[in-house]
Amino acid sequence: MKRKFASLFAGFVMLAAMVFALSAGITPAKAETTYQIGTDVTFPPFEFANKHDKYVGIDIELLKAIAKDQGFKVNIKPTSFNGAVQAVQSGQLDGMIAGMSITKEREATFDFSKPYFTSGVVMAVTPNSKTTSLKDLRGKKVAVKTGTSGADYAKSIQKKYGFHIVTFDESNDMYQDVITGNSAACFEDSPVMRYAVRQGTKLKIVTKPVENGPYGFAVKKGHNQKLLRMFNKGLADMKANGEYARITRKYLGAKGSSDTSSDRTFWGLIKQNRSALLGGFEETVWLTIVAIFFATVFGVIVGLLGVVPNKFFNGLSTTLIYIFRGLPLLVLALFIYTGIPSLTNQKIPAFVAGTITLMFNEGAYIAAFVKGGINAVNIGQMEAARSLGLPFGKAMRRVILPQGIRIMIPSFINQFIITLKDTSILSIIGILELTQTGKIIIARNLEGFKVWTIIAVIYLVVITLLTWLSNWVQRRVRL
């Protein structure tokens, strides 16, 4: 009997191996010269997705031009500013270009290129606001975006002017907080703020740019020095041949590209972003299916380990459920995506990290109700089966599980729906699913309310379909 549990355990180990093998499959060995570069999702005009869902902006075009000049390839990953910082530090990414100011603090953990852009922080308020200078901020709230030089600047003068700081992850959320009046003002790099105003954001700039650290391309300290040298050489070339001037003029010039003219009705927004939304939808569905599969396998195995007559496996099951049900999904996702690589020096693609996250988290819930479902079957059923001479495994399979599964089915359906919704949390590690797609679209057109409405409706439609499918399956297996 012991051997059976051992093979069950071996199965679990194999499953883990499969997940990692899958990760290897998704990232085929790339040529040496392709670098993974992180950037922000929302930092126009330095990086943003245009209406064709292509990433553009000063950072993107400059990096691509330099790569071409120096003969290396880049794969640009819009995670988020914070996400990119962590991913570079953990080795998930080789470098980042995200309007990143060169500061003393950052130089402790990053090596920076020569500065490629000099910016300055400005303060923006609503058009008819009475707040027009830093002095007016006393006792009020100021919105900033995590990790930006605007945030650093706000912190440095906070004591002097006596205001409170509210932090956001996305530029649009920061702007909205000022527009709705929650915060009195926001601090942001001047070109970014100017671009947002030109895009129709109902804010005005009321201060002169305050010089802050110039922008630099960053790699992890002591790593990827060759990439850094190539960037510097390429940057010099771009400045010499006029390409640098062309790119910056394109985005900062008086008649830069603007999106305000396009159709801003619901239908118009759907049409413009059709391919992006479809892509996000597909990624969400795909992620849900893969996650449900692995979470079910993991959950059923861990749940069964909880009911076999073996103290060690019971303890293992309880511990796994305790840990993975106890961790917030967001923390688990960041831990797996950025924490594990820094321990093992092994990159994990975001999709695989996301799948593993969901497998553990949703799987823990599944394990808990699998255990509960089995325990809910009257103990007399097991005793009767065993008294006939059926071994534990056979009794389980032929008598207990068929009854337990019927008890578990409503919980399974519930968990599948929760899994679908939980995929949205994985936008934090940059997976381009529906929620992340929404963030990116909003970063470009700043139509938060309408785009989130569209995204919400898409989720509801998928969940309705999933519920129908589940109910159909439930009817088929009923006695």
Separation between Cα atoms, residue 30 and residue 32, nearest integer Å: 6
**Residue 308 CB, nearest distance to another protein (Å)?**
16
Q: Which one, 289 or 388, has the nearer CB to another protein?
A: 388
**Residue 312 CB, nearest distance to another protein (Å)?**
17
Q: Does 242 bind another protein (CB under 8 A)?
A: no
Candidate list 6, 388, 418, 469; residue touching another protein; CB under 8 A: 388
Q: How many CB atoms lie within 10 A of CB 30?
A: 11
Candidate list 10, 24, 384, 418; residue touching another protein; CB under 8 A: 384
Which one-letter DSSP state was computed for residue 352?
H
Q: Which one, 146 or 381, has the nearer CB to another protein?
A: 381
Separation between Cα atoms, residue 75 and residue 1, nearest integer Å: 51
Q: Does 391 bind another protein (CB under 8 A)?
A: yes
Q: Does 474 bind another protein (CB under 8 A)?
A: no
Nearest residue to 405 via CA among 299, 320, 310: 299
Select the span of 72-80, 264-272, 318-326, 396-404 touching another protein (CB under 8 A).
396-404
Number of residues that bind another protein (CB under 8 A): 19
Spatial contact of 369 and 408, defined as CB atoms under 8 Å apart: yes
Nearest residue to 403 via CA among 374, 365, 382: 374
User: Hey, CA dihedral for 198, 201, 202, 206, is it positive or negative?
Assistant: negative
Separation between Cα atoms, residue 396 and residue 399, nearest integer Å: 6
Select the span of 216-224, 313-321, 391-399, 410-418 touching another protein (CB under 8 A).
391-399
Select the span of 70-78, 135-143, 330-338, 402-410 touching another protein (CB under 8 A).
402-410
Q: Which one, 208 or 397, has the nearer CB to another protein?
A: 397
Candidate list 51, 386, 421, 450; residue touching another protein; CB under 8 A: 386
Select the span of 91-99, 128-136, 262-270, 388-396 touching another protein (CB under 8 A).
388-396
**Residue 413 CB, nearest distance to another protein (Å)?**
20
Tokens of 219: 């790699």
Nearest residue to 445 via CA among 120, 175, 62, 220: 175
Select the span of 20-28, 106-114, 383-391, 424-432 touching another protein (CB under 8 A).
383-391
Q: Which one, 140 or 406, has the nearer CB to another protein?
A: 406
Candidate list 211, 263, 282, 383; residue touching another protein; CB under 8 A: 383
- Binding string, residues 359-378; x marks residues near another protein by CB under 8 A: -------------------x
Determine how β-strand 120-125 pairs with β-strand 204-205: antiparallel
Q: Which one, 239 or 394, has the nearer CB to another protein?
A: 394
Spatial contact of 88 and 36, defined as CB atoms under 8 Å apart: no
67, 84, 269, 421, 448 from 435: Cα distances, Å: 31, 18, 16, 10, 12
Our CA angle for 374, 329, 319, nearest 5°, is: 45
Spatial contact of 198 and 258, defined as CB atoms under 8 Å apart: yes
Residues that bind another protein (CB under 8 A): 378, 380-381, 383-391, 394, 398-399, 402-403, 406, 479
